[in-house]
Structure 1
Amino acid sequence: MSKTHLGHRARKRFGQNFLHDQNIIEQIVDVINPQPGENLVEIGPGLAALTEPVADRSGHLNVIEIDRDLADRLESHPFLAPKLNVTRGDAMKIDFNQFTTSEKPLRVFGNLPYNISTPLIFHLLKYTASISDMHFMLQKEVVDRLAAEPGSKTYGRISVAVQQACRVTPVVNVPAGAFNPPPKVESAVVRLEPYAQSPYPVTDREQLHALCLQAFNQRRKTIRNNLKGLLSEAQLTELDIDPGARPETLSVADYCAMANYLSEQSNVRND
């Protein structure tokens, strides 16, 4: 197994922290459990800490790398290069449909830079119809937010958006010392499995995301105040939602009910 941070300095602008603890790396690869012939996509392979063992097990994978030096290294790597299809670019701007094939759903994984993890997850939610699962290493507090239950301090708009679309399972805790340089925060790996049919069906996910953005904008205020101009007190009551409730006390189903109601209203107006 080649040790890779040979001569590459972690770049702050890309939020790079490189994983080097072999024991943690093996735990993560076991959790991903890559199989030969699967359609795997890694976001931000960096120094190939996960790329190498995943490629060893799967035989081939797609990787997306924004850092030109790292992309060059991967493309000229003596034994990894033949197993990789390297896409250079920003994962936030990439159309993940380009990796899909009709018979093989995508399996996406990566040690995500902390500075882009939330918008990147929102970006990937557009492609859940083509994805069977996603495994991401994130700041532990982000994993806590993804898995948070209504009523907790960590529950917010990303909890609702992700839980509407995916089953969320935290799978591995990763100490700061497993990285070089060590980040100032704990990390964790989360598994997101898109539902074939969500228990919380929603007509328009963009509507749901916009609604949650407004609802959670001021957490201390009531849902009546935060959604003023969008839903009246009477409409909230009609949906069995207490207008005096705080945003973090409402369930994923409540937010989906409000979003579906708004979609219906806009269809009525447009007809």
Structure 2
Amino acid sequence: MTLLGPAEIRELAASLGVRPTKQLGQNFVHDPNTVRRIVRAAELTGDDVALEVGPGLGSLTLGLLEEAAKVCAVEIDPVLAKALPDTVRRFAPEHAGKLHVIEGDALRVDVDEQPTALVANLPYNVAVPVVLHLLATLPSLRKGLVMVQKEVADRLVAGPGSRVYGVPSVKLAWYATSKLAGKVPPSVFWPVPNVDSGLVAFTRREPPQEDRNEPSQEDRKATFAVVDAAFAQRRKTLRAALAGWAGGPDVAERILRAADVDPGARGEQLTVRDFTRIASQRQSQAPHG
């Protein structure tokens, strides 16, 4: 198989009249060794259906097709979406039948392929919403390896007490365990971004639950509402930060104490399980405001 290098990337872009845009967060990987590294870190098996968001000119797509049973590529740019099958037929004709392209926004399109692995070089400006949306809407996703801005990677995998622990950290932890899987320098992209990128690997797990029933969408929404409120005012104690959510600081304190959480603590000190307990206590005992 031929992977795309700088010459192929430039030639493809020129033939399509494509100029990478900041609006779509387009930075195309032109280093075959980086593609091989990403595919290796994704730990795909021959049974995996890989979901790629933002395949662009097809650098990573070609690497994924070599390892996965099928690749479902979601591309918002109509020119790139139309060209991707031709690129695969040209550079990897033996795998052309394994590619399924969906033209559209990954936050809105229906993916009916039941993908098992998300592997993508995600546009920096939508990386967190895309990952969380796909985990929420595609229960078939069991694992993932995404390349995002290094700062975003650090936030996604941060644990309680970390300076960068926040809403993305807790919400990803609801769905999965995660870890950093390496740093990627700007030089492997065209155009060259002014920041480093990071690889985040995740493995889905059962969401935290406070009873014997399976956590529902409502449980998730309730927990995420607490998370959003707690981090909206990071400097405030939970008693103060959750006052609006609970219906007053006294109500918030009562809920927090029932959930065995210190009302004087701050959001960055809590685990996802702590947030789940707070949401559960609100549902069971606090009046809805």
Equivalent position to 2:81, from 68, 71, 93: 71
Aligned to 1:91: 106
Match status 1:260 vs 2:268 = no
User: Aligned ranges for residues 30-45 of structure 1 at < 5 Å?
Assistant: 30-45=40-55
Aligned to 1:142: 152
Match status 1:207 vs 2:222 = yes
Equivalent position amino acid for 1:47 in 2 = L
Aligned to 2:189: 179
Equivalent position to 1:218, from 221, 224, 233: 233
Aligned to 2:255: 235
Q: Deviations over 1:11-59 (max 9, x none)?
A: 2211101111222221111111333342111111111111011112335
In structure 1, C-alpha distance between the alignment counterparts of 2:181 and 2:157, rounded to whole Å: 11
Normalised to the residue count of structure 2, the TM-score between the two structures is: 0.84
Is residue 150–residue 196 contact of structure 2 (8 Å, CA) maintained in 1? yes
Equivalent position to 1:247, from 267, 271, 278: 267
Match status 1:133 vs 2:143 = yes
Q: Deviations over 1:57-98 (max 9, x none)?
A: 3353111000111111113233354331110000011234x1
SS at 1:116's partner residue? Answer: helix
- % of aligned pairs identical? 36
SS at 2:74's partner residue? Answer: strand
Aligned to 1:49: 59
In structure 2, C-alpha distance between the alignment counterparts of 1:99 and 1:178, rounded to whole Å: 30
| Uncovered stretches (5+) of structure 1, i.e. residues with no partner | none
In structure 2, C-alpha distance between the alignment counterparts of 1:184 and 1:145, rounded to whole Å: 19
In structure 2, C-alpha distance between the alignment counterparts of 1:84 and 1:185, rounded to whole Å: 31
In structure 2, C-alpha distance between the alignment counterparts of 1:172 and 1:153, rounded to whole Å: 20
SS at 1:182's partner residue? Answer: coil
In structure 1, C-alpha distance between the alignment counterparts of 2:71 and 2:62, rounded to whole Å: 10
| Uncovered stretches (5+) of structure 2, i.e. residues with no partner | none
In structure 2, C-alpha distance between the alignment counterparts of 1:248 and 1:211, rounded to whole Å: 12
Equivalent position amino acid for 2:76 in 1 = I
In structure 1, C-alpha distance between the alignment counterparts of 2:284 and 2:135, rounded to whole Å: 22
In structure 1, C-alpha distance between the alignment counterparts of 2:257 and 2:144, rounded to whole Å: 37
Aligned to 2:9: 4
RMSD: 2.0
Normalised to the residue count of structure 1, the TM-score between the two structures is: 0.89
